[in-house]
Amino acid sequence: MPRSRQTIPRTLAPLAAAALAAAGCGDIAPTETTGTYELFTGTGGSAWCDRGDEARLQEDGADLVGPHFAVSFLCHYAGTEAPEQVAAAVEELADLPQVIDGAELLVNQIALAPTYEPVAEDGEVTAWIEAGEERFDLDALPLAGGYVAVTVPTGTDAVLWVEDEGRSQGLDFRTGAQVEPVTAYYNGLSRDAVDLDGYAYEEVQILNNRKSYELTCSSGWGQATRSVWSEERGWPSDGTVYLEIEFNWCDAYEGVVDWRLDQEAALSLQGGDDPVAPISWEESSIENDRILVTAVFEAPADAEELTVEFTPVGNLETLNGGEDYAFADGPESTEWTMSF
């Protein structure tokens, strides 16, 4: 269990001048040193490294993203002192007293712009640095272009951790490698809406003990969207993402019948051993006696292609007397295959 430490910002005095004032003359070695497990943070502006530099991390996947945050490491340096370009940019690190023997300084610059974008703007996150057995709580996520630096025993690892909506992910200081990532964010699959082909049901015959009718309903619109987190539902089950399906439906035929879709059987996610029913189903009225259906599934997080089957079975509620209607023949299924 990492130990929690509270860090107190310190003012770095010109050590040689202070020593000379006390001794009066002569060559005086610095008497102050920087020990292990000291943390330094600050703001910044321009990049300390260019593409192709050995210190560069961002293009190698040094990224984290969650519902309410995104952060990337731009550069990393390790040594007994700040390198020249870092010292030139950050006075605090330039004036840092000598690191004690057996220790090193890890310095990481935060990217000026993160690789990913969060899906929501408002929300609290918790950030901290874990170095060896020590934990340094941060007041906030480091700002873009800023830096985080920590002194550690030589060879000791450090990780920047961020917790968002109860899930924690980390970035290794030295390599930029992700630690316990929410992998669905980083597998390269799109979270943009995908258009569906729609459906067409022509002259579907229904009947009851008094009459029979032929119903027609068609639509060229529908869309599907993957999401790793939902404000309404939180995180999905491990190894899954949310798959939201939206389409229009002809709910009512005035004076004749209401064609109510079966929320457990009309839509199913295909591809596994058994079809999967939606975990959520919502309907809202739109124009021309139609409704907007929004159904949500939990789908495999690594699936590049998904198929949903639509079969408009359900209740045919009579509006003109007699028993409820039934299908003369069950309507055929429509398949929607989507690629992400």
Contact 62, 86 (CB under 8 A): no
Q: Work out the average pLDDT over 76-87.
A: 94
Strands 252-253 and 240-250: unpaired
The answer to whether residue 188 is domain-embedded is: no
- Which tokens in the block code for residue 215? 């119903």
Q: What is the pLDDT of residue 4?
A: 59
Q: How far is CA 103 from CA 4, 33, 34, 37, 335, in A?
A: 20, 11, 9, 9, 62
| Domain end residue (candidates: 134, 152, 181) | 181
Band the pLDDT of 127: cuts 50, 70, 90: very high
Q: What pTM, to 2 d.p., does this model score?
A: 0.85
The answer to whether residue 187 is domain-embedded is: no
| Domain end residue (candidates: 133, 149, 181) | 181
The answer to whether residue 189 is domain-embedded is: no
pLDDT reading at 237 higher than 90: yes
227 & 145 share domain: no
**Better-scored residue on pLDDT, 330 or 73:** 73
173-201 exposure pattern, b = at least 16 Cβ within 10 A, e = fewer:
beebebeebbebbbeebeeeebebeebeb
175 & 27 share domain: yes
67 & 162 share domain: yes
What is the C-alpha separation between 160 and 127, in angstroms, rounded?
A: 7
pLDDT reading at 31 higher than 70: no
Q: What is the pLDDT of residue 273?
A: 85
172 & 282 share domain: no
What is the C-alpha separation between 289 and 40, in angstroms, rounded?
A: 63
130 & 87 share domain: yes
Express each pLDDT in 176-212 by its tens digit: 999 999 999 999 999 999 999 999 999 999 999 889 9
Q: Which domain holds residue 260?
A: 194-339
pLDDT reading at 123 higher than 50: yes
The answer to whether residue 206 is domain-embedded is: yes
144 & 264 share domain: no
83 & 198 share domain: no
Express each pLDDT in 146-168 by its tens digit: 999 999 999 999 999 999 999 99
Q: What is the pLDDT of residue 169?
A: 98
Express each pLDDT in 134-143 by its tens digit: 999 999 999 9
Structure-token match 């002194």, residue found: 151
- Choose among 326, 332, 297: nearest CA to 312: 332
83 & 169 share domain: yes
| Domain end residue (candidates: 181, 208, 232) | 181
117 & 176 share domain: yes
Express each pLDDT in 241-292 by its tens digit: 999 999 999 988 988 999 999 999 999 999 888 999 999 999 999 988 899 9
Structural domains of the chain, count: 2
198 & 287 share domain: yes
209 & 66 share domain: no
Express each pLDDT in 225-236 by its tens digit: 999 999 999 999
273 & 320 share domain: yes
The answer to whether residue 158 is domain-embedded is: yes
